[in-house]
Structures are given as structure tokens and as C-alpha cells.
Structure 1
């Protein structure tokens, strides 16, 4: 099987979990993802081959192109999918397509070209049309505030996606001898998309237009030990507050690390700073702070007083399952949604806006660090499913068996 994505760590990590479960069930698996060193190292650690596609996602993200450059960047991603996946998918029974829409569109087109089964998967539900909520807006293409009918807005969403990605997709499809696609969004979603999120953290409201398969989040128990110096820091005092923004470059706030340190210290807490793609660093040498790079978040989050993060689906799920109170400082895309879910569940606070100040972050931490929030976070952690990757793996193998009786991998 080929699992394909292009995006950040949050797009790659779920595929690690699915790949391991598929291998346990006897399937051969490859993962097609950006050639970033941390992605390659993570997959190598579980014995799954990485097929590199296009260029570094971290470099792509840090360049932060203007909205006008998005179609050109998408064209690069789609072309990369056609080149890498056409070879990598040879002999595969199923292709699983995830990641940003142009990457998924390219991957699904390769599967169509090669005549193999495909499954479209999303790690958040906000790109799935639903009449009860508005779609996300794309950079440079705001949704008209005067339009309140959600169905009209979803029609505009489809038009915006076609304008951004349709030409690049169809150039590659035509070159491969395939018919053009006239609705990129609906082509990617299909009529039976998979939603790889936890139903407690991310409840899907049934809609007559889509037969969504919610598998649960694709989690893999992380057995990696924490670095010895980090363990020594954790053991030396009360549980600290973790602050990290994952794959977000944090363009809007270059001093976010210092703001966070000051706000956490004001609460009388120690701090662990996750460097992430923003390269957050400590501004002084005081012994109440510790900076860490790549680390086992499952183990780390179970030992902290709270987690301050950007609201990526993976980080939110990991923190929730660890029972850690959260402060979500959303930057873009689906992150305000996850911030809202954390607040609605009573397991933390949603920061208002992407740029924290000492005052705003202090207020959010005050909420997150209460005994009530801690108790609620502990209670909700026990409801988060751990079998999503196994569910998905079995569904994929069942699909192969139906298509090719007697074949299980």
C-alpha cells in the first residue's frame, strides 16, 4: 500500500501510526511525504520506507508566499505527486491520499491513472461540506461577510479551490492522458471520505450529502525515551508548562517565546520550550526553563501542568489523551476550530487570536491551571479512542479482499 501526503508533521505522523498497524496485519507499506529530515527519521524509526516527494515542507512553510503565489506553489506540489507516486505506486493495491488539497488531488489522479483503489482521508472535518457551518477561507479569497447561507458559501468554496488548483491539476492530468476535473474539491473528497479524528474531540454531524467514515485518530504508542537531561529537569521540581507551536513558523510574533516564558513564570511555574519550526529559544540561562527539540509528546505531556500550543489536530489529540490542560493559540486554517473544541470540552482555554501578549496568555493560563480544568482534562482523556489506526488498517485490508478475493496484502 502507498500512503501519500504533503504537509507538516501533523500530516505525516498519522501515517506513521497507520503504516505500523498495516505492517502488523501483514501488508507491505510505503509512505510518500516531503523529504524533511525529521519525517525520514521518524519513519526509519518504525521501519517504514519513505518515498520523498517534492521539496522540504519546512522550507516551503518558512517562505510564507503571498496569497498570489499559492497557485504556483500548488502546481509544484501536484507535479511532484505525479512524478514520485507514479513510480512508488507500482504494484500497490490501495493508495491513501491525505494532506493539502492539491497534494491529495495529485495523488488520487495517479491512483486513477494506474487503475488502483484509493481512499481520501482528512485529519479535520472543516474541508468536508456541511450545511450547518461555513467553509474555511483561503488566503487572498475571503468569504463575503454579507452572505449567510452556508450552501452558497460552500459553492463559493468549490469555485475558489478550482481557481487556485484546477489549472495545475488539469495540466498534469492532460499530460498523462486523463480527462480534466471540473470540481477539484468534490473530486478529492469523493462520496465516502474518511475522517481520521476522535469522535469525542471532533464529533461529526451526519449530512445527507456525504457518507463519512470516522475511524478515530491514527495514533501510535510512542516508546521513545525522553532525553536524559529533560527527564532530570522534570524530576527536579513541580510539573512545568510546555510551550511549543509545532510546524508553525510564527511569522506574526517573533518574541512569542519570551512572552510565553514571562507569562508562565508569573504563574509560578517552570517552563519547557519546544523549539519547533519557529526555532523558539530561551532568552536567559535561568534554571526554571528547558528547551527541547524533537521529543516524545505522549510521554512529555503526561508530565506537565499544561500544554500551550498552536492547535494542530495531532497536538490537540495528544494533549487531550494525555490529560493535560491546554491553552490553544491558533494561527491559521483549522486551528481556531480545535481551540474552540478544547474550550467547549472544558479541558483548557482558547486564546483569542494568533499573537499572545503577556496579559492575554496570562489570562488563558489562569483558566487552564485550575483544579477544575485539570479534573475535566483527566476525565476526558479516558474517553479518547486509541484504536483509530487499527480500525483504518482493517478497513483497507477488507477493501482489498473484496476487490481481489484471497488477497490480504
Structure 2
């Protein structure tokens, strides 16, 4: 099977697809991954053939784009900003993917750019999309996130309400996408977006735990919950020695915002340092926001890029933004988490973490002031670490990469049958 993969965005959008590609290679398939050059080294180190797509930004360029995304007013506005950022490069992206599809048997895209699946459909190539957040998975059992559930209605009326709202949401997203890139798609001989949520591809691979997150009733059978796809940054053996000395045999809170960036990061960190208790240890990962410690304190250790699995073994808890990848890594680590949402589905994951009883949420506006109290609350909670450990044990039994490969193999077999 020859698989063409594509995804666009930050680390959280790319790493799960690298893991999928690696699993496909291990299963004996040939894989090409078309994306920006920032991730070329990671892709090729996984044994996957890299295909260049614009923009040719470095991390600073993507960090600026992420700052723009944090200003989105709602999910529809977020999609508008994402597609507007892609518009100057869209024709080259379409041309490159169209050329690569001459080679491919299966095409896999991220759900944000599911419109790209039209290129494969024109050639009769089966399509799949990956989604790392299950709030985009429709069901007649619940409405889209943020819409009232109408619990006072009888069940049959609730199902009708939910279905109507999902169809309406699908039309709204397509309208916004077409407003931004519809003319560009038409010029390239493609149809405008006609289904973003309900029928975005032949198969939708939902890369979260089916045990923890799959609803009882799905919109259609095209939605498949496989389990998490986790790819790790390279480990740094020298860092272990540093952290061993710093932690002194104890676990400590870890603060990381991953690839999220925000305005006035220096001022935010100044507020954080003003409020963090003297003498209490914490590890701070600088991330794309460039978090820094302006006045060194013995109880604060600042580090750079490193594997989540390597870092989180030193954590008593992880304080983070609520990205899909980071949330999954903390769940697998089996420790509590404090989520400070900044963008998109991060509020949703904060809600899921609270639902599972493995963490809590702190509001973004005053997190430097409110974080110490939240940390004390987690430290006093005896049930939370036990629940987190139980979740990690459950996740260890799931095979997300293997399940995703089998779904793609089955997709191609069904088409060929």
C-alpha cells in the first residue's frame, strides 16, 4: 500500500501523523508525508519519505501564526484564520499533492484541511482524515460543543435537535471555508467545500482512546476511534543527569505550553515568578512561547525541547495548555494535570480532564496569580493521582498506531473488493 499523508500546523498537528506513518512503514507499506520543511528531520528519522509543502517558515514564523490563532473569537473564526494563512500558498500545495497522488493508493489528511480530499476523490483514491480531538465527532446523542443539550426534551426530540444542529454547524463551517478559499478551489478545478464535519472523507480516524472518549452512538460508521498516536522528540541523556540533581529524588510540578504562543510572554512570566512560592521547585519548558526565567532562582529549572515521556517521569503534575498531544502524554504518564487553555479545543480537553477526575482548569487571564493555589489543591487531592494512574494503565493496553493502520488497510481492501 502506498500512502500519501499530509498535515499542517504545529507540533501537535504533525507528530501524530509521523507516528501513523511510522506504523505504516513497520507494517510493510510505503509512505510519503507532505508538509512544511520545519518537520523534515523528524519525518525522515522515522523512515518516511518527505515531500515539501509551503510555507517555508522557521519556528519563529509558525510562532507568529500561533499568536494570531489565540485571537480567534470562536471555532468558526479559528478556521477562517487558518485558511486565510494558507491562502497565499494554496495553489502550490494543491499542485504538489495532485502530483503525488499519481503515486498513491490511499490519501490521509488532517481534518482541518479535509477539503484536500477532493484531489484524491477525483482520481478514485480512497481518503481518510485524522482528528486528534473528539469534540469534532458528530452524534445524534449530543449537539456540538457549546450548544445546549435540551435535557428537558424527550429523547426523540433531543436526537432531532442534535442532528439539526450538527447539519447547521457543518454548513456554517463550509460557508466560512468557501468564503476564504472557495474561489481558489474553483480555479484549480475543484468543488467548494460541502461537508466539513459530517462526511469529510471515506473514513475518519479519531486518534483518542476509545475506552475513555468514544460515545455510544456515532453519526456513521465512517468514524473510527483507534487510540492515541504519540510521537516523541529525541531524548537527551545529559538532561536526565541535570534533572536528577535538581529534583533530588522527588517529583515536582512541570510547566509547559508546547507550541502555543501568546503576547507579552515576558510580562506573563514576570507575574508568574512574583507569585510562585519561594523554595518550591518547578521545571519550566521554554516551548515556542520562549518562557524564560529572568532572575534565576534555585528552585526553578528551565529546559528546552525534550521528549514528553522523558520529562514527565520527573513530574508530580503537569501544568499545560491543553493541546491534544500534551494531554495524551500526561494521561499516559499517569499523573495529574492543570490545564490553562489558550486556543481552539483546549477548553474541551480541560473539560474532559475534569470529567475523568485527573486534573483541573485554571483560567488564562490570571493563571500566574492563581496557579499556586491550584497546585496546592492538586497536591492535597488523594484521589486524583490514583485516578490518573488507573487511566495510564488502561491506555497502556490500547494500540492506537496498529488500529489506525488496520483501518487504512481495510479502507483500501474495501475499495479493491
**RMSD value, Cα:** 3.0
In 2 relative to 1, CA 258–170 (structure 1 residues): closer, same or farther, beyond 3 Å? Answer: same
Q: Gaps spanning 5+ residues in structure 1: where?
A: 138-142
Shift of 1:11: 0.9
The one of 230, 233, 244 equivalent to 1:234 is 244
- 1:96 equivalent to 2:102? Answer no
Alignment of 1:79-94 (within 5 A): 79-94=91-106
Query: Which structure 2 segments of 5+ residues have no match?
Result: 151-157
Which of 112, 119, 134 is 2:128 aligned to? 119
Whether the aligned pair in 2 keeps the contact of 1:158 and 1:184 (CA below 8 Å) is: yes
Q: Does 1:60 align with 2:65?
A: yes
2:172 counterpart residue number:
160
SS at match of 1:331: coil
Are 2:53 and 1:43 equivalent residues in the alignment? no
The CA distance in 2 between the partners of 1:198 and 1:18, in whole Å, is 15
- In the alignment, what sits opposite 1:128? 137
Tell me, yes or no, if structure 1 residue 215 matches structure 2 residue 217.
no
Alignment-derived partner of residue 375 in structure 2: 365
Question: Is the contact made by 2:269 and 2:368 (CA closer than 8 Å) also made in structure 1?
Answer: no
Superimposed CA distance per residue, residues 76-122 of structure 1 (whole angstroms, 9 cap, x where no aligned partner): 4643531331223331110111142xx2212x022123331111221
C-alpha spacing 1:171/1:243, structure 2 compared with 1 (3 Å): same
Aligned to 2:153: none
Tell me the distance in 1 between the aligned counterparts of 2:189 and 2:96.
17
Pair 1:159–1:252, CA change in 2 (3 A): farther
Distance 2:335 2:36 in 1: 30
In structure 2, the CA distance between the partners of 1:168 and 1:110, relative to structure 1 (3 Å rule), is farther
Residues 223 and 6 (structure 1 numbering): CA distance in 2 closer, same or farther, change over 3 Å?
Answer: closer
Would the aligned equivalents of 2:4 and 2:100 in 1 still touch at CA under 8 Å?
yes
* Matched residue, 1:140: none
1:205 counterpart residue number:
216
Change (3 A) 1:24 1:343: same
Which residues of 2 match residues 2-401 of structure 1 at below 5 A?
2-36=4-38, 39-55=39-55, 56=57, 57-64=62-69, 72-76=84-88, 78-100=90-112, 103-106=113-116, 108-135=117-144, 150-188=162-200, 190=201, 192-209=203-220, 211-220=222-231, 222=232, 224-229=234-239, 231-236=241-246, 237=248, 238-251=250-263, 254-261=266-273, 264-265=276-277, 269-351=280-362, 353-370=363-380, 371-385=382-396, 386-401=398-413
